[in-house]
Amino acid sequence: MRVQLFATCLGDLVLPEAVADAEALLRGAGHEVVFPAGQVCCGQPAFNAGHRRAAARVARTFVRAFSRELPVVVPSGSCATMLSHCLPELLGVEPYEVYELSAFLAGTALPRLNDGRTIAYHDSCHMLRELGISDQPRALLEASGATLVALRRPDLCCGFGGTFSVRQPEISVAMADDKLGDAAAVAAEVLVTADPGCLVHLRARAEQAGGPRVVHLATALARGIDA
Amino acid sequence: MSALDQPPGAFRARARDALAAERMQAALDSSTLRLYDHRVAAWDGLGDVEALRETARRIREGTLARLDDHLEAFADAVEARGGTVFFARTAEEARAYVVDVCTRAGARLAVKSKSMLSEEIGLNAALEAAGVHAVETDLGEYLLQLAGKHPAHIVAPAIELTKEDCAELLSRAGGVSVEPELEALTAAARAQLREAFKTADVGITGANFAVAETGSICLVTNEGNGRLVSSLPRVCISLLGMERVVPTTAELAILLRLLARSGTGQPLTVYTTLLTGPRREGEEDGPEESHVVIIDNGRTNLLRGRYRTMLSCIRCGACLNTCPIYRRAGGNAYSDVYSGPMGAVLLPLLVGLRQAPALPHASSLCGACTAACPVKIPLHELLLDLRRDLVAEGVASRRERLAFALWSLAWSRPWGYRLATSAARLGQRFGALAGPGRVWASAGRALPRLARRRYRDVRR
Amino acid sequence: MSTRDEFLAPIRAAERPEVPEPELPPLRTGRGAALVEQFAAAAEAAGAHVHRGATPDLAGDAGVSRALYGLADTGSVVLAASPDEPRARSLLPWTHVTLLRVEDILPGLAELFAELGPELPSALAIVTGPSRSADIEQRLAVGVHGPGEVHVALLDPVAR
């Protein structure tokens, strides 16, 4: 079918290769992908910080750019939550048909790029608790041939939390250390996440302090965990 | 200005101290994990726990919707059974009443069983000033009192004291050396506090719940100190937060089914006690005078809009045990009384946002607390509401509001977004020098690099 | 205005949202002998020593109380203060024995409260196992401050 792809601001600016991977997966599954040029950001950074007016201003770019005729696919659990749960109330608009990437791709046949590899998957909080999506990304990773090892504390947040990461930086980093340490302790080769926010934060800490590589779900599935 | 006020930088500074304290970190990790695992197992054993939570939610919210009626019924029932009720709107009124009762009773020594409310109103200091020595009898609280510290968890107060700490405290208090072994420590505490129980003039308890139908105070403990405090001294005073009333024992049974399971994983704590008035004719022990002090202290502030549901809280501690921030920052980062998610919501509402502006942001909004709450308080949603209020009421700094306004104006159009992000990419090597970039990097993270080309441009 | 009225005024003025009625589960009808095994298992799991038919042979200074009821769900005994049952008896001694008639075993708290009605004794203690605390390094210690050793002697109707 035809779908609209929402890159998210972090995807567009920091993780363009992961967005490209997401698009490749959608095409590979037989979908036609439309990329509305006027997209910017869902407004979540301001929304979660309590700045509703600022969030609404930015969120309106979504309404101007995206059509209601086609489903929207997002390679981010937190942005998908923002669009589906918060946008309608924030802007007084009807809800869009929004899918987080792994939920949309559920059941898709995938090349076994990760055969014999050991992966730990990090459930980002929005995806887990607001969208209830935890099986689909794991199923897809297993379909790609990977062996999944469970984190010891899969329930714990990675510590990003948007502005929290700079309001309480020490706690935020301690939480990242717990997550990275957990992945290392269960001998995962990489830590995979479906959320750009979690990814950027964990990767930034791992770069500085050491730790497993952090890979976006789309990349793990489209090009393999070594990409 | 209240003792509960949390100045802006306090949370972060105290959290930093907690992060540096290895023993505290280990204690926080193991205790919260243990209590979390116990709760999960206990909830699994409940069958349809979602139905039970929903029933509990309706019981609490239904009570709050008619709180005045239930408080009246409760007060009438207490008085009909020989108890005395005092309605205290402020902490000051509550303290004054308790001091007055103690003074009229000629009391020199009071024994207290666990009451977060008594900490909230600053009772112990007022009693000491009036010449009444108040001894905490909950083991953890006793040890903290000896150490001159405040509880760090609403259910497991002495979470960061070691055996060695306890041995030192008990040895000094008893004048006899105590071995840092569990049996010796508990024997020493038992002996020291027994003296206090037997000689105290007044017993002061909190109240987990109050039952309107029967005029009873419900105490939930594992140690039995609540029973001792309300059985041996001549006078018993119970402090009741006005929101803790329950209409009938039938509804109390539902809440008790969830309370211990959610807090410690036990089906019931060792002692679930219902106290109804002073001793009856012919009874050998029990208080001759029984007082209930019903306290507001800012709770009426919560009776508006969404915040009302925060009054449903039954102080089980489940949210603390599941919170990834509490687990690292420790209880004292939040305040000397309430901590974790429930503290982060309750305190700004009790004392005002201006007095505790950092607490709503002492959270990553992960939502684990909401999932753990037995009475379904949407804690993380209330934290977001508080953040909105911080902005709407002008408490959030002008700098912050300006930063978001400028950001949103730039990003409200694709061309503004392009311009702003191109500029950011040009300047990104300086990103760690100032502002959020500096805060990000100084905590030990690499600054995320903006890609050479945005996805939208790569795609073309 | 009385202090009561002053106190209640802002509560009376607050909004009263509609809240759906809670659905309380129906009371269970089991009682007595049918619940003995469940009671005994729960009581032992909570750390009590359970004896069938006879009172245990114990040191002289143990406190011995008669229970009003037992609760099968949790293995709890229900003690009521009265002229015959001082509170201290089940609090001060290290060892405590509760005599519980099998026919007085109820399913749980809801059934207990339904049985008791709105007039409660001055002190009603629902006791589940020995006194305990985990306040020192989260390790379990018994006997602070209530009894550290508790026994329940189940009395069958015939044995009496």
A68-77 tens-digit pLDDT:
999 999 999 9
Residues C38-64, mean pLDDT to the nearest whole number:
89
Interface check for C158 against chain B (CB to CB < 8 A): the answer is no
A151-190 tens-digit pLDDT:
999 999 999 999 999 999 999 999 999 999 999 999 999 9
- Domain assignment of residue B109, yes or no: yes
Interface check for B448 against chain C (CB to CB < 8 A): the answer is no
A99-125 tens-digit pLDDT:
999 999 999 999 999 999 999 999 999
Q: What residues form DSSP beta bridges with B295?
A: B88, B241
- Is pLDDT above 70 for B255? yes
The tokens for B170 are: 């008990």
- Among A104, A129, A145, give the residue marking a domain's end: A104
Residues B392-399, mean pLDDT to the nearest whole number:
95
Interface check for C124 against chain B (CB to CB < 8 A): the answer is yes
Identify whether residues A183 and A88 lie together within a single domain: no
Phi, psi of B174 (to 5 degrees): -95, -10
Phi, psi of A152 (to 5 degrees): -70, -35
Q: Is A48 helix (H, G, I), strand (E, B) or coil?
A: coil
CA separation for the pair A102, A82 (Å, rounded): 17
Q: B189 and C144 in contact by Cβ < 8 A?
A: yes
- Is pLDDT above 60 for B208? yes
Q: How many CB atoms lie within 10 A of CB A41?
A: 26
Interface check for B42 against chain C (CB to CB < 8 A): the answer is no
- The confidence band for C158, taking pLDDT boundaries of 50, 70 and 90, is low
Question: What is the per-residue pLDDT for C1?
Answer: 63
Write out residues 135-154 of B within 8 Å (CB-CB) of C. 137-140, 143
Q: A176 and B407 in contact by Cβ < 8 A?
A: no
What's the Cα-to-Cα distance from B404 to each of B428, B447, C75, rounded to whole Å? Answer: 19, 20, 58
A123-137 tens-digit pLDDT:
999 999 999 999 999
Identify whether residues A130 and A169 lie together within a single domain: yes
Identify whether residues A213 and A120 lie together within a single domain: yes
Mutate: best of B404, B425, B428, B454, partner A, most A CBs <10 A: B404
CA separation for the pair A182, A197 (Å, rounded): 19
B404-416 tens-digit pLDDT:
999 999 999 999 9
- The confidence band for C135, taking pLDDT boundaries of 50, 70 and 90, is confident
What burial class does residue A92 get, using C-beta atoms within 10 Å of its C-beta: 0-12 exposed, 13-18 middle, 19+ buried? exposed
- Is pLDDT above 70 for B352? yes
Q: What is the count of structural domains for chain B? A: 2
Amino acid at B421: T
What pairing do the DSSP bridges indicate for beta strands B271-275 and C123-127? antiparallel
Q: Is B314 helix (H, G, I), strand (E, B) or coil?
A: coil
B172-187 tens-digit pLDDT:
999 999 999 999 999 9
Interface check for B254 against chain C (CB to CB < 8 A): the answer is yes
Identify whether residues A205 and A119 lie together within a single domain: yes
- Domain assignment of residue A30, yes or no: yes
Identify whether residues A42 and A75 lie together within a single domain: yes
C19: nearest CB among B62, B161, B277: B62
The tokens for C142 are: 């018994």
Identify whether residues B38 and B184 lie together within a single domain: yes
Task: Identify each DSSP E strand in B222-351 by its residue range.
Answer: 235-241, 245-246, 271-275, 289-295
Q: Is C142 helix (H, G, I), strand (E, B) or coil?
A: strand
CATH of the domain at B185: 3.40.50.10420
- Domain assignment of residue A227, yes or no: no
- Domain assignment of residue A133, yes or no: yes
- Domain assignment of residue B420, yes or no: yes
CA separation for the pair C37, C72 (Å, rounded): 8
Identify whether residues A90 and A124 lie together within a single domain: no
Listed by start position, the domains of chain C span: 29-155
Q: How many CB atoms lie within 10 A of CB A56?
A: 18
Q: Is C150 helix (H, G, I), strand (E, B) or coil?
A: strand
CA separation for the pair A13, B453 (Å, rounded): 8
- Is pLDDT above 60 for B79? yes
Residues near B416 by beta carbon (within 8 Å), at least 6 away in sequence: B409, B410
Arithmetic mean of pLDDT over chain A:
97
Instruction: Give all chains having 3 or more CB-to-CB distances under 8 Å with chain B.
Output: A, C
With contacts defined as CB-CB under 8 Å, which chain A residues touch B391?
A: 50-52
A vs B contact (3+ beta-carbon pairs below 8 A): yes
- B247 to chain C, closest Cα gap in Å: 11
Q: What's C21's DSSP letter? A: P
Interface check for B296 against chain C (CB to CB < 8 A): the answer is yes
Interface check for C8 against chain B (CB to CB < 8 A): the answer is yes
With contacts defined as CB-CB under 8 Å, which chain A residues touch B14?
A: none
Phi, psi of B215 (to 5 degrees): 70, 35
H helical segments located in chain A: 9-13, 16-28, 44-47, 52-65, 77-81, 87-91, 101-105, 125, 135-143, 164-167, 169-185, 196-209, 217-222
Mutate: best of A4, A60, A170, A201, partner B, most B CBs <10 A: A170
Identify whether residues A78 and A97 lie together within a single domain: yes
* Parent domain of A34: 2-104
| CB hemisphere CA count around B417 (13 angstroms) | 23
CATH of the domain at A198: 3.40.50
* Parent domain of B164: 10-299
Residues B214-242, mean pLDDT to the nearest whole number:
97
- The confidence band for C82, taking pLDDT boundaries of 50, 70 and 90, is very high
CA separation for the pair B454, B413 (Å, rounded): 16
Q: What's A126's DSSP letter? A: I
Q: What is the count of structural domains for chain A? A: 2
User: What is the largest distance, in Å, between two alpha-carbon atoms of chain B?
Assistant: 92
| CB hemisphere CA count around C144 (13 angstroms) | 26
- Domain assignment of residue A38, yes or no: yes
The torsion angle over the Cα atoms of residues B147, B219, C14 and B80, rounded to 10 degrees, is -130
Q: At the fourth CATH level, which superfamily is domain C29-155?
A: NagB/RpiA/CoA transferase-like (3.40.50.10420)
Residues C10-17, mean pLDDT to the nearest whole number:
94
Query: Taking the CA atoms of chain B, what radius of gyration do you get in angstroms?
Result: 25
Interface check for B26 against chain A (CB to CB < 8 A): the answer is no
CA separation for the pair A44, A87 (Å, rounded): 9
- Is pLDDT above 70 for C109? yes
Q: C108 and B253 in contact by Cβ < 8 A?
A: yes
CA separation for the pair A178, B128 (Å, rounded): 44
- The confidence band for B297, taking pLDDT boundaries of 50, 70 and 90, is very high
Question: What is the per-residue pLDDT for C134?
Answer: 86
Q: Is A214 helix (H, G, I), strand (E, B) or coil?
A: strand
Identify whether residues B25 and B158 lie together within a single domain: yes
H-helix or E-strand spanning residue B134 = strand B133-136
- Number of residue pairs across A and B with CB atoms under 8 Å? 187
Identify whether residues A130 and A165 lie together within a single domain: yes
What pairing do the DSSP bridges indicate for beta strands B289-295 and B235-241? parallel
- Domain assignment of residue A128, yes or no: yes
- Among A54, A85, A104, give the residue marking a domain's end: A104
Identify whether residues A74 and A138 lie together within a single domain: no
- The confidence band for A5, taking pLDDT boundaries of 50, 70 and 90, is very high
With contacts defined as CB-CB under 8 Å, which chain C residues touch B269?
A: 128
CA separation for the pair B154, A15 (Å, rounded): 43
Residues near B242 by beta carbon (within 8 Å), at least 6 away in sequence: B67, B71, B294, B295, B296, B299, C11
Identify whether residues A120 and A34 lie together within a single domain: no
- Is pLDDT above 60 for C159? no
Amino acid at C64: V
Identify whether residues A149 and A67 lie together within a single domain: no
- Among A58, A74, A104, give the residue marking a domain's end: A104
What's the Cα-to-Cα distance from B89 to each of B93, B120, B294, rounded to whole Å? Answer: 7, 13, 8
Q: A204 and B447 in contact by Cβ < 8 A?
A: yes
C135: nearest CB among B156, B228, B270: B156
Q: Is B245 helix (H, G, I), strand (E, B) or coil?
A: strand
- Domain assignment of residue B44, yes or no: yes
| Nearest Cα to Cα of residue B458 among A94, A22, C154 | A22
**Residue A175 in contact with residue A157, Cβ under 8 Å?**
yes
- Domain assignment of residue B372, yes or no: no
Q: B163 and C22 in contact by Cβ < 8 A?
A: no
- Is pLDDT above 90 for A49? yes
Interface check for C65 against chain B (CB to CB < 8 A): the answer is no
Q: How many CB atoms lie within 10 A of CB C116?
A: 18
> Which H, E and C letters describe B167-228, residue by residue?
HHHHHHHHCCCCCCCHHHHHHHHHHHHHHHHHHCCEEEECCCEEECCCCEEEEEECCCHHHH
Amino acid at B168: E
